[in-house]
Homo-oligomer: A and B are copies of this chain.
Amino acid sequence: MSAWVQTPVIPGATIGILGSGQLGRMLALAAARLGLKAHIYAPDPGPGFDVAARHTLGAYEDEAALAAFAESVAVVTYEFENVPAQSAAVLAARRAVLPPPPALAATQDRLVEKEFLRGLGIPTAPFLPVDDAGALARAVAQLGRPSILKTRCFGYDGKGQAMVREGADLAAVYRSIGGHPAILEGVVPFAREVSVIAARGLDGSFAAWDVCENEHENHILSLTRAPARIRPETAAAAVAMTQKIMDALAYVGVIAVEMFVVEETEPGVDKEILVVNEIAPRVHNSGHWTIDAAVTSQFEQHVRAICGWPLGSTRRYGEVEMRNLIGEEANRWRDILGDSGAALHLYGKHEARPGRKMGHVTRIVGR
Contacts and interface: CB of A to CB of B under 8 A. Distances in A.
A309 B295 contact: no
A327 interface: no
B29 A340 contact: no
Interface in A335-351: 337-338, 340-341, 343-350
A230 interface: no
Interface string A89-122: 0000000000000000000000000000000000
A50 interface: yes
Contacts of A11: 330, 333, 346, 348
A11 B350 CA distance: 9
A53 B340 CA distance: 28
A32 B33 contact: no
B50 A32 contact: yes
Contact of A310 (B337, B343, B346): B337
A51 B35 contact: no
A310 B334 contact: yes
Interface residues of A, number: 41
A359 B35 contact: yes
A348 B309 contact: no
A346 B295 contact: no
Contacts of A309: 334, 337
A60 interface: no
B50 A12 contact: no
A338 B310 contact: yes
Given A51-B51, A53-B50, A12 B348 contact: yes
Interface of A: 11-12, 25, 28-29, 32-37, 49-53, 295, 304, 309-310, 312-313, 315, 317, 330, 333-334, 337-338, 340-341, 343-350, 359, 367
Closest 6 CB pairs of A and B: A35-B346, A313-B340, A50-B53, A310-B338, A35-B348, A32-B51
